[in-house]
Amino acid sequence: MKLLSKLIMLLFLVWVTANSCKQDDDGEIETIKVVDRGIYELMKDVYLWYDQLPEINPDSYSSPDALMDALRYGTYDKWSTVLTKTEYNQYFEAGQMIGHGFMLGEDAGGKIRIAFVYRNTQAHDLGVRRGWIITHVNGTVATTGNVFDLLGPSEEGHSNTITFINGDTVTISLNLTKEVIDITPVVHYEVLQSGESRIGYMVFQDFIDAARTELDEAFDLFRSQGVNELIIDLRYNGGGSVDVAEYLAGWLLGKNHAGQPFVNFRHNNKLVSWDTTLNIPGNANGLELGRVFFVGTGSTASASELIINGMKPYLSSVTMAGSTTHGKPVGMYAFPFTNYDYVVLPITFKYTNANEVGDFYNGISADLQAADDLTHDFGDPDENILKTVLNYIADGSALTIKSALVTGKPLGKNKGLREYLKAY
């Protein structure tokens, strides 16, 4: 996969270098035109749905984002995008964000709650946890409509005084400064005891290279504690690197199924030679479990869905708890321009598991339906989705709590890939 990805990048770099000589002295406008022409020509070759592209004049668009909006195949594509090199490199390669390091959610009563907070951030060190309510930012009442504006730009050094109500219903005001955050992709992990069951529980947020060490730490604990059940919580994980998904598959399947097919990539009919299959990497220390539980919601997408789908041919039971996932059975490659500050990420392939199962554009449905519970922290056995899974492990029955009080949804997650790169 790495070799293929580098080859594709090289092909595009050659193309852009050859064509960027057309730039004249018109400054930024002509730069945008050159970039847009490059994007349009690229899409004609590598886009999974290249035969559905509209006939347009790429020079007529004001920005690469505007052009990509016009090119996306409306039936399926909600994801093809253009990022700046800084955005791309900071998240996918450096594993960093700028912000306070928390994600926000809205409960059924309209309250703004912390959905998760990255470890080793100022907010986390000062005690901010999932479930805390934000009431004011800099003295202004925070609402779902204004909170992101109140929090201000994602710039290092930007400070906010935020008033919270914590898990003990105590009002706390904290002065927090936005910082460069080294993302901690494994947000939480522990071993839970329930009767005879020793249950490994891990909340995994980002499929980025920085995850490898943290996955090792979590699974080393699970192995040393002799877990016989496993829950992987992907409820807000919007995806990322397939290489990291493959690495996680090694921990889950690599002891008994090394070398067997994990995921198949299928491109458009111009690029059949790019089709490939990734195999399960060997891991002598991997777990040996007959089943695994995943937690998912509508914010669970891409590489998260790939890992859920990829487990099914090899385990006796792969159970999804929560709600239906996002539905992204397709993937992207990154195509950087050499002379301009853009990385193009078009949908270029669809993927299937070893049994050729894919095309779940409507998402992967939950076997154990349960609402996201923003009122409890991760690992709390009273958290709605976790409680449902623990109940099922204990006696095989599904407990669905329907109280609107615990139903929640993430904020700021409806604007495409770029929103997944923000830490507020």
Q: What is the pLDDT of residues 234-275, one digit of tens each?
A: 999 998 889 999 999 999 999 999 999 999 999 999 999 999
- Structure tokens, 24: 């004249």
pLDDT over 70 at 398, yes or no: no
For the chain, domains (ranges, CATH) are: 2-82 (no CATH), 96-182 (2.30.42.10), 186-403 (3.90.226.10)
Q: What's the chain's average pLDDT?
A: 87
Question: What is the model's pLDDT at position 29?
Answer: 61
Q: How confident is the model at residue 414 (pLDDT cuts 50, 70, 90)?
A: very low
What does the pLDDT look like over 78-133, one tens digit per residue? 999 998 888 888 777 777 888 999 999 999 889 999 999 999 999 999 999 999 99
pTM of the predicted model, to two decimals? 0.86
Q: Do residues 215 and 249 lie in contact, with contact meaning Cβ atoms separated by under 8 Å?
A: no
Higher pLDDT pick, 28 / 86 = 86
- Res. 23: pLDDT tops 50: no
The Cα–Cα gap between 131 and 114 comes to 5
At residue 410 the predicted structure's pLDDT band, cuts being 50, 70 and 90, is low
Give the per-residue pLDDT at 43: 96
Please tell me the predicted confidence (pLDDT) of residue 265. Answer: 94
Residues 376-395 have pLDDT tens digits of: 999 999 999 999 999 999 98
* pLDDT: which is higher, 100 or 15: 100
pLDDT, tens digit (0-9, with 9 covering 90-100), for 169-199: 999 999 999 999 889 999 999 999 988 899 9
The model's confidence at residue 406, banded by pLDDT at 50, 70 and 90, is very low
User: pLDDT higher for 418 or 35?
Assistant: 35
**Res. 405: pLDDT tops 60:** no
